[in-house]
Amino acid sequence: MDKIMKHISKRELMRLGNRLDEKDKSVLQAVKTCRQITGRQLMRLLFDVTTERATVRAVNRRLFKLKEMGLITHLERRIGGVRSGSGANIWEITTAGLKLLYLRDQADGKRPGRFVRKRHFEPTTCFTAHRLAVTEVYVRLHELTGGNGYSGANTRGNGNGGDSGGNSHNNRVGASLAQIELEPGCWRRYSDFAGHELYLKPDAYAVTASGEYEDHWFIEMDLATESPAVVTRKCEQYAYCFQGGTEQRRIGVFPRVVWIVPTDKRKNSITNHIDESFAGTLKSLFTVIRLDGLADLIRGEKQKAENAKEEEKTEKALAINFKKGKI
């Protein structure tokens, strides 16, 4: 990471903003949203891959343009070490980049709230690994759903595509990504049984939609760095939040809690601890998968929704025929 981050005046920021095209703005917003992201993840998220070498060059041109402007920076360490190429740089937004996006939101009539200056430090390896794992889920969800409505922010998509030059993947699960939020935007307030106000802190919140049906997900990224007992205590927080009903009153349902783990061994361990700690409805709140099972999970919920719709049609037809005396 650059040792010295120069101060950029408001006038200079506005001048820099006028030099950015829509793709530059999408890249800057994506870096802000994900907090840490590699060049290759950005390529998959925002760029149409013709040939990999040409696309990597195009991504790097954008990234180093923004870096020269002082709007983003990268960590000193890379994924895979110094021989892994520029696509392995880990990018973060700078205070100047945050300020530029803040001013842009103000100019667009949005209410971005109070501006908070970014503190720059070289994070631990564990912190970076977790952040990049969450970013990978973010990118993977856009890939699986065809990138529907991507705007590079924690936002609700329009379900119709329409990204400003974003990646146009094939929809591999038959559902659109209606909404996705990363922390801290996805955190929720709730109260325990003693009335104390607490925060539920998932890594991400997503909504996938198929027709008139929506599936809501709280996502927890587990890298097997915590004991299963710690995971169980986090599940207890979700159980308290579910029993308090705050989320159900807000959106009508409580999201499924998906633990994404690195190995089958870890999956079996976490599943066993959840089975031992919860029963009935509380146990059904939780699903444990590996990342490569994400597509099957979304596709399975879509199929359940379609089956429920068919059952509803059948019940209505039976009711109509009963009234007509045909049965």
Helix 10-18 crosses helix 95-107 at what angle (to 10 degrees)? Answer: 80
pTM score above 0.95:
no
Q: Which residues contact 43 (CB under 8 A, 6 or more apart)?
A: 49, 55, 56, 59, 87
Locate the domains of the chain by residue range.
1-123, 152-327
Identify the pLDDT of residue 95. Answer: 92
Q: Which of helix, strand or coil describes residue 158?
A: coil
> Would you write out the chain's pLDDT as a tens digit for each of its 327 residues?
444 456 778 888 888 999 999 999 999 999 999 999 999 999 999 988 777 888 888 999 999 999 999 999 999 877 655 444 556 899 999 999 999 998 888 877 776 666 666 666 678 899 999 999 999 999 999 999 986 444 555 555 443 333 333 444 456 788 899 999 999 999 999 887 777 889 999 999 999 998 888 999 999 999 999 999 999 999 999 999 999 999 999 999 999 999 999 999 999 999 999 999 999 999 999 999 999 999 999 988 655 655 555 555 555 555 565 566 655
Return the CATH number of the domain spanning residue range 1-123. 1.10.10.10
Comparing CA positions, the residue from 245, 209, 233, 296 lying closest to residue 220 is: 233
